Amino acid sequence: MNKQTVDLIVLGAGPAGMSAALEATRHGLSVVVLDEQGGPGGQIYRNIQQADAHSRRVLGDDYGAGAELVAKFLRCGARYLANAAIWQVTPQRQVHYLIDGRAEILQGHHVLIATGAFERAMPIPGWTLPGVMTAGAGQILLKSAALVPQGPVILAGCGPLLYLLAVQYLRAGIAIEALVDTSGRGDLLRAWRKVPGALRGWRDLLKGVQLLIELKRAGVRHFRDARDLRIEGPAQASALSFDSGGRRRTLPASLILLHQGVVPNTQISWSLRLEHDWSEQQLCWIARRDSQGETSLPGIFIAGDGGAIGGAHVALLEGRLAGLAIAARSKKLDAQQLQQLAAPYRKALRRQCAARPLIDVMYRPRQQNRIPADEVIVCRCEEVSAGAIRQHVALGCLGPNQAKAFGRCGMGPCQGRLCGLSVTEIIAEQRNVPAAEVGYYRIRSPLKPITLAQLSTETPLTQEPV
């Protein structure tokens, strides 16, 4: 085996990728971990190695706990490549990536996709104005560079991250104008049915309650059941207007942060033509995989939020299980050893997943915030509105791929990452068919921009694909 061929290539150095590398190297596998960031940790533990005591206090105990995992990962013997942009993964488990301006290639006996999640778009009127960001972007600036907004901030939407960021901003001394919660009363009523099953994950539920208590004690205005959100301003966001409590409200702000949950990053899995299913529970596409994380393509595994949204603890456990499964596939463990080692992780995984159905129901994004009115821009790269997409359907467009031909929707730099789910749901609603029937964009390489000069630096594999 030469240096270009390894037992396992891990794509992503978040909780899932790091824990998989720990488990695989522990059982003697050669492992390479590629990650686009400058340091390990993923989104959840971003910049943890450089975070000082003040930053850890602001970001919370869960963030600080990532330091130990990162330290163990860096000592485990896996080859870690930071600042590596993956631009192609082939069904033959060849991974093409850019690093230091050069194109490189690796061959793996197995590949684990641990690329995590990104935020669901929230296409409401005015969301493309300067002064509007996602809550995740605000948190990235806070973690990576301790950058915080200067003026009053409005956080709008739904989901646990919204409350977490609000509390983190409070700890950092940022003035919060309001928290505008789009979760409906009906969502809360439906969520009560999930409470008995969720009690096994009571620790996570308690953390959420503690965040709400901290916000209330700080006197943050909290508007619930908000509808018909609109960001005001001719050229710059200056206010958020919405309906809540039976009246129309308009709140001024210099920065508006939107959020309505996260969804799996499926760009690589779609590019590999893996089988996917539409999840009505999480309103997104999920790559089909077995209990060990293996997908419909043998040798390709997925762990963590890239497979389904579960959070950092679930990602860590899924990474462990995938690492064990790959070790067994590599003849490092027999069936009995695999079962014994996996048992405690599976037990912990069931406990960690217990609260997820409750969270998914409680923070289900409103339809009007996922499927916008005609005038709202959906594809920001190509400036395609929801109305234009509906016109394409009237002319015979059946799905997102055809939408590209009709109006370049999804053909910009983000390759549909931002608009893909919205386009699927708009077309499904207009055709009056399930989203599963509409499908998704056909994702092709390169997944990230690469120049011809960079491509010319790639050294071919010195042996046939395994």
At position 275, the amino acid (one-letter code) is: E
At position 38, the amino acid (one-letter code) is: G
pLDDT digits 0-9 by tens, 365-406:
999 999 999 999 999 999 999 999 999 999 999 999 999 999
Going from the N-terminus, what domains does the chain have, and what CATH number goes with each? 5-118+263-333 (3.50.50.60), 121-260 (3.50.50.60), 371-438 (1.10.10.1100)
Q: Considering the entire predicted model, what is its pTM?
A: 0.95
pLDDT digits 0-9 by tens, 132-163:
999 999 999 999 988 888 878 999 999 999 99
pLDDT at site 190: 79
Determine how β-strand 227-232 pairs with β-strand 284-287: unpaired
Peptide bond into 298 cis (omega under 30): no
**1 has a pLDDT exceeding 50:** no
pLDDT digits 0-9 by tens, 275-300:
999 999 999 999 999 999 999 999 99
Q: How far is CA 313 from CA 43, 188, 380, 442, in A?
A: 13, 25, 33, 31
C-alpha–C-alpha distance, residues 253 and 260, integer Å? 19
pLDDT at site 462: 73
Region 350-373 average pLDDT: 95
Is residue 16 classed exposed, middle or buried when 0-12, 13-18 and 19+ CB atoms within 10 A define those classes? buried
CB 20 within 8 A of CB 114: yes
Q: Which residue has the tokens 């009523």?
A: 189
Region 181-210 average pLDDT: 84
Which residues lie closer than 8 Å to 401 by C-beta, 6 or more apart? 439, 441, 442
pLDDT at site 59: 95
